[in-house]
Amino acid sequence: MHVDTYWHAFVSEDAMPIAGLLIDCRGGSERSVCGPGLRGLRGEVARVYAPGIGLSRPARLLHPRYPLYIAPKQDDHYVIGATEIEGEDMSPVSIRSALELLSAAYSLHPAFGEGRILELSTHCRPTLPDHRPALLWDGVSILRVNDLYRHGYMIAPEVARETVKLVNALLDTRVRDIDGFNTWRAS
């Protein structure tokens, strides 16, 4: 199969590349075509260096507002995340969120108090109302892969597998009309 790839290229909705089949995975920026249901959910994380703690597995913390985790990385680095705040605000991490993330780490192990903050960062997660991933076929040439929400890294392999299955089916012209598609989906 021949696939053209373009890196660092902005693609706008009114100038989509011409292709037999397009797989659109632009995250939250597909909102204009996926309807008002698709939204961004702000998440903030801290990356710290904290030697001497030796956590070897991710730890989940109970927090009244969002599930927080501390994920150990190489060389005594830890990622502490993540807040979950309605809105597509990409501004820098708020003081309250920074306090919550860092206090959570400090409450888990006092040695985090001597750690060093390497980075505080913000991003938005593409999210549909049911928080479940969705493959949306426009019935003509565009397949949109959406709503990985909080679990994008974790569920990406499964979503990719399902996408490949659907793409293979769509390349079979019998599946391209709505009856063929429904038959394929029911099979």
User: Which range of residues in 24-32, 106-114, 163-171, 173-181 is near ligand FAD by CB under 6 A?
Assistant: 24-32
Closer CB to ligand FAD, 45 or 175, in the complex: 45
Q: Is 137 in the site for ligand FAD (CB under 6 A)?
A: no
Contact 41, 84 (CB under 8 A): yes
User: Which range of residues in 86-94, 97-105, 146-154, 167-175 is near ligand FAD by CB under 6 A?
Assistant: 146-154
Dihedral, CA of residue 36, residue 13, residue 85 and residue 58, to nearest 10? 120
Q: Which helix (H) or strand (E) holds 71?
A: strand 68-72
Q: Give phi and psi for 132, each to the nearest 5.
A: -110, 145
Q: Which of 66, 150, 162, 184 binds ligand FAD (CB under 6 A)?
A: 150
Q: Which of 26, 47, 63, 109 binds ligand FAD (CB under 6 A)?
A: 26
Contacts of residue 157, Cβ cutoff 8 Å, sequence gap at least 6 = none
Residue 96: strand, helix, or coil: helix
| Residue number of the CB atom closest to ligand FAD | 152
Site string for ligand FAD, 55-74 (x = CB under 6 A): --------------------
Q: Which of 86, 84, 88, 89 is nearest to 31 (CA)?
A: 88
* Binding stretches for ligand FAD (CB under 6 A): 10-12, 25-29, 43-45, 81-82, 123, 125-126, 148-154
